[in-house]
Amino acid sequence: MSTTTVPAPAVTIDHAKRRQAVLLVVAGTLLCAIAQLLIKTGANRLGHADLFGTVIGIFTIPPLFAGYCLYGIFAVIMVYALRHGELSVLFPIISLNSVWVAVLSVIVFHETMSPLKAAGIGIIVAGVAILGRGGIR
């Protein structure tokens, strides 16, 4: 009995689509950061609400509702991006969300940016850049 090995079909890599996937995820992280700012703004309006009051607040306080809607849009963007990009490249990019939140919190909420926070932001950006370079073939 002879066996024949059938080669796997060649996978063509569309570099333009991969680049688009990366850009979509980067844009999505900014969208997600805006969502978090909206959620923080809405949470400040909750006062001393219990768990049930918080759930009701998600639907009745516009910034909370808008923030969670933006999370949903981000999820759709991720699904679309994952069709053409590598998970090992795209997922670490999501950590840029922390960078956006830190920077926007200084601008919007007048929080302080300590040297330690700035160093952390630099490390995150460097890490994402290194991981992103690893996905280029």
Structure-block tokens of residue 88:
């090992």
CA atoms of 123 and 117, how far apart (whole Å): 10
More confident residue, 9 or 43: 43
* 39 C-beta neighbours (distance < 10 Å), count: 20
pLDDT at 131 over 90: no
Domain boundaries, the chain: 16-134
CA atoms of 127 and 87, how far apart (whole Å): 15
CA atoms of 19 and 97, how far apart (whole Å): 19
Q: Which pLDDT score, from 0 to 100, does residue 8 have?
A: 63
Q: pLDDT tens digits, residue range 51-105?
A: 999 999 999 999 999 999 999 999 999 999 999 888 888 988 999 999 999 999 9
Enter the pTM of the model.
0.80
pLDDT band for position 130 (cuts 50, 70, 90): confident
